[in-house]
């Protein structure tokens, strides 16, 4: 689930193919608690990125950093 979130972030940011394959475990770990807290109702394969963006002001600093690092 988190891997799909990171992939969606990377693809949405239109970054290079080399970076798109990366999706670091640190980035996943940074957003995992926020996904569980705010996006638990999003079905598997759903719009986790949209959920995080909707709740951006409530996200923990590490997850906001992940979004910002991908231009979101």
- State residue 70's pLDDT score: 86
Q: What is the pLDDT of residues 44-62, one digit of tens each?
A: 888 888 899 999 999 999 9
Going from the C-alpha of 32 to that of each of 14, 17, 21, 29, 65, the distances in angstroms are 22, 24, 19, 5, 13
Spatial separation of the C-alpha atoms in residues 21 and 71, rounded to whole Å: 17
The reported pTM is 0.65
Query: 22 by DSSP, 3-state: which?
Result: coil
Q: What is the pLDDT of residues 8-46, one digit of tens each?
A: 665 554 333 333 334 588 888 899 899 999 998 988 888
Spatial separation of the C-alpha atoms in residues 3 and 6, rounded to whole Å: 5
């Amino acid at each position: 689930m988190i891997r799909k979130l990171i992939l969606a972030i990377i693809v949405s940011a239109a970054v290079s193919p080399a970076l798109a394959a990366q999706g670091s475990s640190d980035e996943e770990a940074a957003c995992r608690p926020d996904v569980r807290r705010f996006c638990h109702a999003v079905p598997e394969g759903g719009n986790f990125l949209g959920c995080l963006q909707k709740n951006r002001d409530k996200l923990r600093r590490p997850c906001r950093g992940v979004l910002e690092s991908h231009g979101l």
